[in-house]
Chain A
Amino acid sequence: MSSDLIFKSAAELAALLEAKQVSSVELIRAFSSRTKAVDGRVRAFNSFDEAGALDQARISDARRAAGQARGALDGMPVGIKDVIAVEGQPLTASSRMLADFISPYDATVTRKLKDAGAIPWGRLNMDEFAMGSSTENSAFHPTCNPWDLERVPGGSSGGAAAAVAAGEAPLALGSDTGGSIRQPAAFCGVVGLKPTYGLVSRYGLIAFASSLDQIGPLARTVEDAAMLLGTIAGHDPQDSTSFSTPIPDYRAELKRRRGPWKLGVPKEYFGAGLDAEVGGAVNAAIGFYRKAGCEIREVSLPLAADYAIAVYYIIATAEASSNLARYDGVRYGHRSKEATDAIDLYFKSRAEGFGPEVKRRIILGTHVLSSGYHDAYYLRAQKVRTLIRNDFMRAFQEVDALLAPVAPTAAFKQGEKSSDPLAMYLSDIYTISLNLAGLPGLSVPCGFTRGGLPVGLQIIGRPYQEADLLAIAHAYEQGHDWHTKHPEL
């Protein structure tokens, strides 16, 4: 029955596919049916191509019938944040600038998914150009949190997190520049992982901040996230920032690595501003690890807590102002019909194509790079970034991983923060520093508020040690049943 399938884990679905108890066509029909039933209210998708997905499903089923199934993800639908290129599908970044853009090529992660037989499933809504923490900055429509439709799903990968939480997709790919996978995962009660910078290729990811962006998995269980990460990770000659490192079998390592681990708790992350219920759930999770035999140590990240947001909003906006210069109305994207000459074409196409948050960040980024301000802002921020990174490296001399909240609150109401950009920026306090330091981090569900809103536990790992990170998360998850809860829709 299709309603039984939609909340099964990807691992369970893979087993059913392998045993030929379900076909890929049935899977696509089940998720398509679910999406049609609920997405009118959740609004996770910008678009989806059911017919195209069914074609791919038939091809996958034929492969399997011929004994040539490609592995666990063959025939599996994977939702794609509308910021990652899939050939022949829209690539809009939820912006009017790219509303009609059809991608002429596949991102490397897309190619890896297709090589594994996985089926890109729809285009998932996001904050425009990945700039935001609530998906309210989408130029098309907001996405609603499946646990409370009046609240935000988080952002910028809000569509991806909401789709997985609502059973519209078993897996999704998002992107994380300042928390954009982890925070929506926490708000929507799913698992979200940002890999170490360089682990996953950025080729085919619409660039926001090139030294911070990473693509990562969203899923309902840690094992599912491990499966998806294993498929997309790896060195790519087409991304000169991608790292050459052997990719472990993350899924197999989950079961092999049992701990106990030395876990650090950054004391500055539990101070004022952290909602009591969120802090309570995270502290209960820390207690679980302690009871399970892990040594829990207090560590200090003094600079991260005080300065990471300031550093981030200089570096990320500076890099964005450069990356978004390509949207000029010339070769692709929105072109103004009002322009009087070539230069005016740039001014008007950009003014018409970009939303207010994007404009704000381009202006801020241009300012901090401009002559007379570059040293005081950008160069200084890059130096503080070094110190923030050193804070983490010092902590990792004593512990294997850090435990922290993901966000200061659970999901907030639509419109609550959208009129005060600075307030929205300050809510990124716990996630942003990892992007600056390049470290891997994930969010795993660790409870609910009294109002029924999910809370996430953030686990921060050593560079390129995602196998440990996943194992630590898996140990917590298997000792609880948060991942078996689903929103009523």
Chain B
Amino acid sequence: MASPTDINIDYVANLARLALTDQEKEIFSRQLGDVLRYIEKLGEVDVSQVEPTAHAFPVFNIWADDVPQPGLPVDVALQNAPVQRDDMVVVPVVVE
């Protein structure tokens, strides 16, 4: 597995929508570099004929009946909203 063990931390933090300080970038790069170097050992394993396991005991085609059920009332659903008005969550402008 010839993957570099350095994370492009700016790129990844941007994907993850995390604003990191310069200090965090430096510390996390180093710590995660150690972890990635450790993880390199997975390259030793022969996985050529192996199927991936996403789910230890898979269940398939789990259907729900198409019957409407009550959901959370609006006021309950909004009770943890940081800012709300008129039964809506208020957010910064997205589109001018």
A residues sitting closer than 8 Å to B (CB atoms) are 100-102, 104-105, 196-198, 211, 237, 240-241, 243-244, 303, 306-307, 309-311, 313-314, 321, 325, 328-335, 339, 341-348, 350-351, 354, 356, 359-360, 362-364, 366-367, 370, 373, 376-377, 379-387, 389, 421-422, 425, 436-439, 463
Contacts and interface: CB of A to CB of B under 8 A. Distances in A.
Contacts of A105: 72
Contacts of B80: 100-102, 104, 331-333
B53 A386 contact: yes
Given A360-B32, A364-B32, A342 B94 contact: yes
A384 B91 contact: no
A339 B82 CA distance: 13
B72 A363 contact: no
Given A197-B56, A331-B89, A351-B20, A381 B3 contact: no
A335 B81 CA distance: 9
A328 B17 contact: yes
Interface in B19-60: 19-20, 24, 28, 31-32, 34-36, 38-39, 41-43, 45, 47, 50-57, 59
A259 to B, nearest CB: 26
Given A363-B16, A379-B52, 13 more contacts: A102-B80, A198-B56, A241-B55, A314-B42, A341-B92, A351-B18, A359-B24, A360-B32, A363-B7, A366-B12, A380-B45, A421-B31, A438-B57
27 contacts: A105-B72, A198-B56, A240-B59, A241-B59, A243-B57, A303-B45, A311-B42, A314-B39, A328-B17, A330-B89, A330-B91, A333-B82, A341-B92, A341-B93, A345-B91, A347-B17, A347-B19, A350-B16, A359-B24, A363-B16, A363-B28, A367-B32, A379-B52, A383-B50, A389-B53, A436-B56, A438-B57
A370 B62 CA distance: 29
A347 to B, nearest CB: 4
Contacts of B93: 341-342
A345 B92 CA distance: 8
Contact of B3 (A347, A377, A421, A436): A377
Interface residues on B, range: 35 or more
Contacts of B35: 313, 364, 421-422, 425
B15 A366 contact: yes
A309 B38 CA distance: 9
Contacts of A343: 17
Nearest to A104: B76
A389 B16 CA distance: 31
Given A102-B79, A342-B91, A380 B55 contact: no
